[in-house]
Structure 1
Amino acid sequence: MRLPRSAGVAGILALALMVSACGSNRFERGVTGGAIGTAAGAGVMAIAGGPVLAGAAAGAVGGAAIGALTNECQIDLGPQRPNGC
């Protein structure tokens, strides 16, 4: 059975959100968020049939911005939460 295209796109977006912006400071979170956003954007556009480079660029900008503008206390990491959160 083949999944509809929208299910694939939703799966990639969900995966990108689950692993976005790993790091303990703004620089690390911005870099990892940008890298994950690049991969997610390219993957979504590849599935959707659009321009892959445009998707990668948009994902990179969005991921880097989200990573740099959030801190590690804003995401519930469960028992691994850093001290002071």
Structure 2
Amino acid sequence: MLNYKFRLYPVMEQEQRLVKVLEINRIMYNYFILNNFRSRNDMNFALTELKEQQPILRNYYSKMLRMISTTVAAAWMV
């Protein structure tokens, strides 16, 4: 099996965008955990309501945000 390791050397603007994405992921992950959503469907429904209320979330892809709910739902099952 071959393994490859790639290093990123982003410019300052790219690094700032990556940090913002990670920050939004962290906030959404914590939001889902603190509000005790048990099913992925509940989290995705809450996510749609949050996107209407919070304009900052409109800047991020919904698939990325939905993947956070999948991660939290998988963590609850363990």
Q: TM-score range by the shorter chain?
A: 0.3 to 0.5
Q: TM-score, normalised by structure 1?
A: 0.36
Larger Rg: 2
Q: TM-score, normalised by structure 2?
A: 0.38
Answer 1 or 2: higher relative contact order, Cα 8 Å, separation at least 6: 2
